[in-house]
Structure formats: C-alpha cells, structure tokens
A = this chain, B = another copy of it.
Amino acid sequence: MAKFHPSLPGRVTIREVGPRDGLQSEPPLAVRDRARLIEALSATGVPKIEAVSFVSAKAVPAMADATAVWDLVEKVVGVAYSALVPNRRGAEEAVRVGGFSSLQAFIAASDGYNQKNVGRAVEESIEDLEAVMSVGRSVDVPVEATISAAFGDPFEGDVPPKRVVELAERLVDFGAAGISLGDTTGMATPTRVWEVVGLMEERLADVPLNLHFHDTRGTAMANVLAALQAGVTEFDASVGGLGGSPFAPGAGGNVATEDLAHMLADMGIETGVDLERVLEAARRVESLIGHPVPSRLSRSGPRWNRADGP
C-alpha cells in the first residue's frame, strides 16, 4: 500500500494549544486551575505547549492574568512552552516574564477575519508582527507566525493559496522562525491542504511548517492525513478538542489531542504522547469547564480497550 502514502512521516510533533486556544472561548478559569492544567499537559509527553496568551484581557477575558498563570506553572524540562502575543506590548510582557522557548505572533491571510480578530487590515497588522519579531530578536527568542484563516475566511470566503504563501514569505523575511497555517473556522479540505502545503514546499521548503485545524466541518482529521502525505510533521491540537476563536462565528474546536495521537499511534507514527495522561487531562478540563469536551476518544477510549465478552 506504499503507493498511497509516499511520505508518511515516522514521527509527528503535536503542539498542545488547549491552555490557549482551547480555553479562550470558555468562561474564565481560576489562575491556579489554568496553571495546574498546563502542568497536567506537561506530563503527557507533548514536546510543545502554547501555554498563555498576552492579548487584551478585555477582548479575551479567559486569557487574562497570563503572567500570574505562567508564574505558578512548574515548568518541565524538555517541554517547549510558547506564548501568543498580538503586538509589541504583548511581546515585551512575555519577554519580561521570561521562560518561553518561542513567541507566537499572528495575522490573518485576509482583511475580513483580521479586522474581526484585531480590528486592523492585514497590512496594518504586519507592522505589529515586525515589532514582535524585533522584540524577540533583541532577547534571542524565536518568533513563529500564525497565518489565520489560511484555508478560507468566514467573512470573505476562499483565500487564494498564493496570497497565503506570499504573506508567509514576507513574514519569513521579517524573521519568522516558522509558519503555522491556521484553519481558524474549519474551511480546509484535503485538496486545499495539498494545494497550500504544496506551494509552501515550493517556495519555503526550509521553513518549519505547523498546521492548525479546527473540526468545524468534520474535516480536521482528513486534513491531517492529507498534510502527513504532503510531508507536514507538526500539528496543533487541543486537549479534549476544545477551542475556537471568540471572533470566528461558528468556530468548532481544534482537532483533539487524544483523537490525533490515537490515530497516529495506530498508523505507526510516533508522537511521544501518553494517551492515558491526555485522557486524564481531558477529564480534568471537563470538570473545570463544567461541560463535556467534544473529543471522540474521551467518550470511546482507545481502540485497544476491550469490551466485556459477548
């Protein structure tokens, strides 16, 4: 069957974004609970965690108190923690607090979503990203850039792959250490993934690429498969499948860490993730937010669990 997966990787990096994207649309949790959740996720074996966000507490109340949360977290050596930063001020705060392996800047591929998300046109936002990168450079902390709505914009519709990749090129020119393409509202499908990733490979082959899928329309795991076949080896995922931008109408959750790690494990692709610990963390999240998480595995358990005999 090798003809169907010419380039399935042997190993995939999962970046856990539950403490950030996962929680940002939920009612705010206590600082202590957010810190304990990051610690629980640090014990799952994921190599990267997006831990906090230095966005405006007024705009995203659930992300308030980033510094307090981060101060409380018992950091685990070997886990690379990142912070989301919207602009120079956020970057400076993150750098002042310290301890992040990288900063994550963000911008949309189209004005529609960018306006809704940060109240500015894409061209204006680029200045913010330049500023973030200069802050990162000054303290030698790499800055990665997320391009949101990279597979479609809920306000504007389709986004030409060429525009996405040209924006990525500009961000790399400004010093982005890596690019994450965000399917913020679940508008990606496998053929679109092949198209955009193919163009990224052509133009930015040596730049680390992360994909960030939301399962708004049920395509997230198929998109992951498509991306694996196109050579992508890093994906964002959120414990329990929580997530969704408060500024994206009808946004569904991120691809669930446990669903993704389980599928990859069965396909012989290493992630280093201890599934039982992720499921434990998902249960913790459920009790914190007070409603069920959307992941499938949190209901079904892994395929190797046996039911009681017939």
Residues of A within 8 A of B (CB): 1, 3-6, 112-113, 115-116, 152, 154-157, 186-187, 189-192, 194-195, 198, 215-219, 221-222, 224-226, 229-230, 248-250, 252, 256, 259, 262-263, 266-268, 295-297, 299-304, 306-310
Contacts and interface: CB of A to CB of B under 8 A. Distances in A.
A256 B218 contact: yes
B301 A229 contact: no
B296 A217 contact: yes
A292 B267 CA distance: 32
**For the complex formed by this chain, how many copies does it contain in all?**
2
Nearest to A119: B310
Nearest to A264: B189
13 contacts: A4-B6, A116-B310, A155-B310, A157-B306, A186-B296, A186-B303, A217-B262, A217-B296, A217-B297, A217-B302, A218-B295, A250-B307, A252-B296
A303 B152 contact: yes
A149 to B, nearest CB: 11
A216 B252 contact: no
Given A215-B296, A219-B263, 15 more contacts: A1-B195, A4-B6, A4-B229, A4-B230, A186-B300, A186-B303, A190-B225, A217-B263, A217-B297, A218-B295, A219-B221, A221-B221, A222-B224, A248-B307, A252-B296
Contact of A310 (B115, B259, B307): B115
Nearest to A194: B1
Nearest to A8: B191
A229 B302 CA distance: 25
A187 B225 contact: no
A304 B266 contact: no
Nearest to A191: B267
A229 B295 CA distance: 26
Given A303-B152, A310-B115, A190 B267 contact: yes
Contacts of A268: 191
Contact of A307 (B155, B215, B252, B309): B155
Contacts of A309: 112, 155
Contact of A226 (B225, B297, B299): B225
A217 B3 CA distance: 25
A218 B221 contact: yes
A207 B140 CA distance: 61
B259 A217 contact: yes
A1 B202 CA distance: 11
Contact of A252 (B1, B252, B300): B300
A288 B5 CA distance: 43
Given A219-B221, A225-B226, A310-B112, A250 B1 contact: no
Contact of A306 (B4, B155, B230, B295): B155
